Chain A
Amino acid sequence: MSAPTVAIAATGVANVASVKACLERLGAEPLLTLDPVVLENARAVVLPGVGAFAAGVEALNRAGVADLLVARAREGRALLSICLGMQLLATSSEEAPGLKGLGVLHAPVERLRGAPRLPHFGWNAVEVEDNPSALLRRGEAYFAHTYAMTPSETLEANGWRVARATEGSTFVAAVERGGTLACQFHPELSGAWGAALVQRWLQRAFDEDPSSRAIGAGGLSWS
């Protein structure tokens, strides 16, 4: 196919329906796939995730898509990793000691310390330095998790822009670099604020594509 595509990495029963509905409301026509060729060639890829770290790592390795997702993130191509999807990009997780993550984000994932109740379900403030040209902006986002990435200077040193949130302790709410955006929160469930973030991510993905038809007074088109 010649049209630019948005692909959702279908690793199992994740929050695929909500992500898909969000993308569709923004005018995209996402494909659900685990085909490495489709994921490699897609203009933009979403890595959703709900569930366990070990099962997530195993699903990516079994499908043979771990390396291409790592390459995509390293090159700053369009990748949106959500919740467990973000944690899978880390070096490791306290949830599965001894198991390596994809290692794109050089910071560990740990159980949330000091949270009044776990899992952490709910809306929290996302704090990030103001920058109107960036994807991530201040706001309130919806979280559903027990583990989270611990802030690390290595992230910034590696060129990641880091947003933080606090629930008992401060953790990494999201990071962005180029077209790659990884969110501990669920942008697809974060109302109008989350939809606007996904819209900016799509816009950046397709702006970089010279064949994109993503401009027009009547709105945006990604399909």
Chain B
Amino acid sequence: MTRIIPCLDVSSGRVVKGIKFQDLRDAGDPVECAMRYEEQGADELCLLDVSATPEGRANGTETVAAVRRALGIPLTVGGGVRRVEDAERLLAAGADKVAVNSAAVDRPALLTEIQARLGAQCTILALDAARLDANDPSRGWEVVVHGGRTRTGVDAVQWARDAVAAGAGELLATSWDRDGTGEGYDIELLAALGAAVSVPIIASGGAKSAAHMARALDAGASAVLAASIFHDAETTVGAVKQDLARLGATVRAPFAVTTTTPQS
């Protein structure tokens, strides 16, 4: 069943959104956004602290804890995870999965350490990939880190294989070329990664429509992540799911019953 994952890029406790990881602007309160997306039918939520790594600090746990108190669906958190202790701290605050990016490129054993301590189910590799030639996917992709500020020269597909061998249980694959552009996911990137590894792949970067998402699923992605289209209220998770169902994808049906409000 296809997973639709709204992503909250958080900086200093606020949801932000930029283009190609830059030019951040305010997009709301994380808890309000999280609850709205769950009500709309989101299957998971992703919370990335985009300011954590460039500013050289660990992810703040207050936002994670506040979102967790309200949220009844899975929560992936990333940003600034450099040590296994950072991952433990995020899980303790309420994350269900931890996404590791730059630090794992520097030291792949970090994935092994997190997997050994917390399980492969908690260990997500956030892979930001940029095309070597924007117009020719056959040239391949390289890994970019530090919020897109640094190109590493590391082959993205080989890095995905190595990361899964090291312990990653899922890939969050973001196209640096497409992030925030609305041009659609990098389908060739998803297909290359899907052929290279057996763990689930979350498509990220460039989604504007359900049609983009359907193409990513056809290419082998298990889940689709989007931010701008939901933040800007261009559409809702529910509307995207209806469109995806019409395009042939299997999506989770809405569950109408609301839970009892705590009264104790």
| Residues on A facing B (Cβ under 8 Å) | 13, 15-18, 21-22, 24-29, 50-52, 116-119, 121-125, 139-140, 142, 144-146, 186, 188-196, 199, 216, 218-223
Contacts and interface: CB of A to CB of B under 8 A. Distances in A.
A67 B252 CA distance: 39
A162 B102 CA distance: 44
A13 B92 contact: yes
Given A17-B95, A146-B120, A186-B96, 7 more contacts: A119-B199, A121-B3, A142-B43, A142-B74, A191-B72, A191-B255, A221-B264
A152 B238 CA distance: 38
A95 to B, nearest CB: 11
A13 B121 contact: no
22 contacts: A13-B118, A15-B96, A17-B93, A18-B75, A21-B71, A22-B72, A25-B72, A50-B122, A118-B199, A121-B169, A139-B255, A140-B252, A140-B253, A142-B43, A145-B121, A146-B121, A189-B73, A191-B38, A196-B257, A199-B259, A219-B263, A221-B263
B263 A119 contact: no
Of A22, A29, A122, A199, most B-chain CB atoms within 10 Å:
A122
Given A25-B262, A26-B262, A199-B259, A122 B119 contact: no
B91 interface: yes
Contact of A144 (B88, B96, B256): B96
B117 A13 contact: yes
A26 B253 CA distance: 23
Contacts of B119: 50-52
A121 B201 CA distance: 10
A122 B223 contact: yes
B69 to A, nearest CB: 5
Contacts of B223: 121-122
Given A17-B93, A145-B121, A193-B257, A218 B72 contact: no
Of B75, B201, B264, most A-chain CB atoms within 10 Å:
B264
A199 B260 contact: yes
A27 B223 CA distance: 33
A17 B169 CA distance: 21
Contacts of A186: 74, 96
Nearest to B253: A140
Contacts of B1: 122-125, 140
B contact patch SS: loop
Interface string B197-222: 01111000000000000000000001
A187 to B, nearest CB: 9
Nearest to A198: B259
Interface of B: 1, 3, 38, 43-44, 65, 68-69, 71-75, 88, 91-97, 117-122, 169-170, 198-201, 222-223, 252-253, 255-264
A192 B3 contact: no
Interface pairs A-B: 6 shortest CB-CB? A219-B263, A27-B262, A17-B94, A51-B119, A195-B259, A221-B264
A72 B245 CA distance: 44
B198 A223 contact: no
A115 B199 CA distance: 11
B72 A13 contact: no
Nearest to A22: B72
Nearest to A167: B1
A61 B241 CA distance: 45
A207 to B, nearest CB: 15
Contacts of A139: 255
Contacts of A118: 198-199
A27 B73 contact: no
Given A189-B74, A193-B257, A119 B200 contact: yes
Contacts of A193: 255, 257
Nearest to A144: B121
A192 B222 contact: no
A13 B253 contact: no
B162 to A, nearest CB: 18
A26 B252 contact: no
A119 B169 contact: yes
A163 B260 CA distance: 25
Contacts of A52: 119
Contacts of B43: 122-123, 142
Nearest to B38: A191
A218 B222 contact: no
